[in-house]
Structures are given as C-alpha cells and as structure tokens.
Amino acid sequence: MLALKNSSKSAFRRRLLGWYDANRRNLPWRQTRDPYKIWVSEIMLQQTRVAAVIEYYKRFLKAFPNINALARADEETVLAHWSGLGYYRRARMLRAAAQQLEAAKREMPRTAGELLELPGIGRYTAAAIASIAFREPAAVVDGNVERVLVRMAGENEADSVDFWTTAQELIDTDRPGDFNQAMMELGATVCLPKNPACGACPLKQWCGTRGEHKTAKPAARKTSTVGYVVAGHGPKIALTQRPKTARLMPGMWELPLLHRLPRHAPLFTLRHSVTTTDYVVKVWRGRPPKGSVQSNVAQASKLPLTGLTRKILRRLSLLRD
C-alpha cells in the first residue's frame, strides 16, 4: 500500500501544486468555474486527446452556451456540433442530462453524489466537476492519475494500491480542483506511459519506480479495409444515414459504403482509427447508389456526419471546418 505521513503529504501537495502553477497548460476550460462549461469539457475529454477537444469545445459552447440552450436543441443539431469528436453517446447523454435538469428547473448539482444521478456522469466526471467548480474535496482517478500512483507505489506494491482511496487521502482540501488537475497534468505531460520525464517530475522523491512501469498490456489492434463512394451532381453529394438501431454511431450520416471494392485504383486512400481497429479507407468516385440521399454540400456540413466522412470531405476540399 502507498502510505505517506501527514508531514510528507503536505510536502507532496506543496510540490505538486507549485509545479502545476508554474507549468500547467493554458486550456480554455481552465479559465472558468462555470460548472456547465467544466461539465462539457470533462465529457469531451473522455477517451479523447486534449488537442482534439479545444476547437470542438469552443464551437460547442458558442452554439450551446448554457444548459437551457443545450436542452432545447434537437438531437441532430447537437450531434452535428459533436461530429468528428467520436463516441457520440457522450453527446446524447449530455443533452439528456441537460433536459432532465431543465425539466426539473434545477441548476447543476453541487456535489459529486448528486451529479452521479445525471445521465452520462460517472464517478470520475462527478468528482472532477464538483472539485473544480464547487471546491468539493473529491479526488479523481483516470488513467493518468492511476499511472502516477502505480509508479509512486513501486512495482512490488502496485497491485495492492486502492487508487480511489489513495487519491482521496492525498487530495489538497484547500485546492481540490487544482490538485486533481495537477495529478492529471503530471500524468499527461511528465509521467508518460513510455519514456517518462523523471528528471522534470516534482514528485520524484516519492516515486517507487523512477521510470517506465507498464501497468497493463495494450489492447490488441485489428486492421480492416473499407471502401466508400463519392457520388453526386453539381454541388450535391450522396449520403446515407446509419440506422437508429445501429450499435455504432446510430443515426449519423456518412458516404455510401461499398460492399464490393472496385478493381480499378481508388481516388485516394487514407487511414482512420476507431478504438482498437485501424482502417485502411479507400475512396472512389461513382454513381449515387440506391437508397442514398442527395444533399447540398453546404447543408451536409450541418448534419451529424461521422468523423470519417468529415475527414474524406476535407480531403476533397468540400469541407473546411
């Protein structure tokens, strides 16, 4: 078990927060204590790189500046603003929670326990919002925090660490939001999965490994080849809508999928990754297939397009967002 004396805990907190104050990244959601804006950022950041979230976050808040605006928007419009960010269930649950709050005429709950009652908010997200927006001393544990705690414990003790209990024992009760963000920031920028920058780590005196420690084997990746057709007349382009009952990306719009790949060379090939699958994506020009819908390109950009479709249309210079 990872255990520190009270004096050591105080020194740990001072060192970590001092490092964070001097080195934290200037991210837009760190400029606010608005619980709605923090909530949006935390949902977007789930399983998504910070760099990919920043512009989506700004555009989303411009379209839906508060809970009421989000609650009153139709699902397709919300998904259109989320399009390309992936894991679309997050957007649906975010809107559902906003609708629940508006229907009950409630403001954002102020405690982690109450936040857990909202759709799409789990233990991590509830603690993050409560600590950052409302200063509740509720610790968070994500992959970055877990890696920091594992390395502090050392290889021989890592399996016995209760990460949530340990994080809660370490949290700074005066600055809980900053403490949580500092732990995550440390894991994201210094205590990296591979080649950690140990020399720059403010917590190295408490570290039990002083270097890389693999906590789990990465999931095996699969490869797959798919083909799409770009078809249309003039300013229009053919699109198809995924079934509402589809397991992945239900209701999203995409280019027509080719079930048999042509023998002639494609217009171009690109790569696209979704969770544990790496796709080789081949694109041909062709005729609009049966069942597709012709949409004006400008109008199509406002639809909830899949991220891959947006990538293809950008490659064709048909989209510039």
Angle at 6 between CA 126 and CA 174, to 5 degrees: 40
Report the candidate in 259, 309, 251, 308 with the shortest Cα–Cα distance to residue 78.
251
Compute the CA torsion angle 108, 113, 114, 117 (nearest 10 deg).
110
Q: Mention every residue, 6+ apart, whose C-beta is less than 8 A from residue 263.
A: none
Long-range contacts of 244-252 (CB under 8 A, 24+ apart): 248/274, 249/88, 249/306, 250/88, 251/75, 251/76, 251/79, 251/304, 252/79, 252/83, 252/88, 252/304, 252/305, 252/306
Q: d(Cα 91, Cα 93) in Å, to the nearest integer?
A: 5
Closest CA to 60 of 95, 26, 30, 35: 95
Active-site residue among 42, 136, 185, 254?
A: 42
Q: Count CB-CB contacts under 10 A for residue 160.
A: 9
- Retrieve residue 167's tokens: 């994080």
Active-site annotation holds for 254: no
What gap in Å lies between CA 234 and CA 199, rounded to an integer?
59
Q: Decide if 53 contacts 45 (C-beta within 8 A).
A: yes
Q: How far is CA 80 from CA 161, 162, 199, 259, 310, in A?
A: 42, 40, 44, 26, 11
Active site members:
42
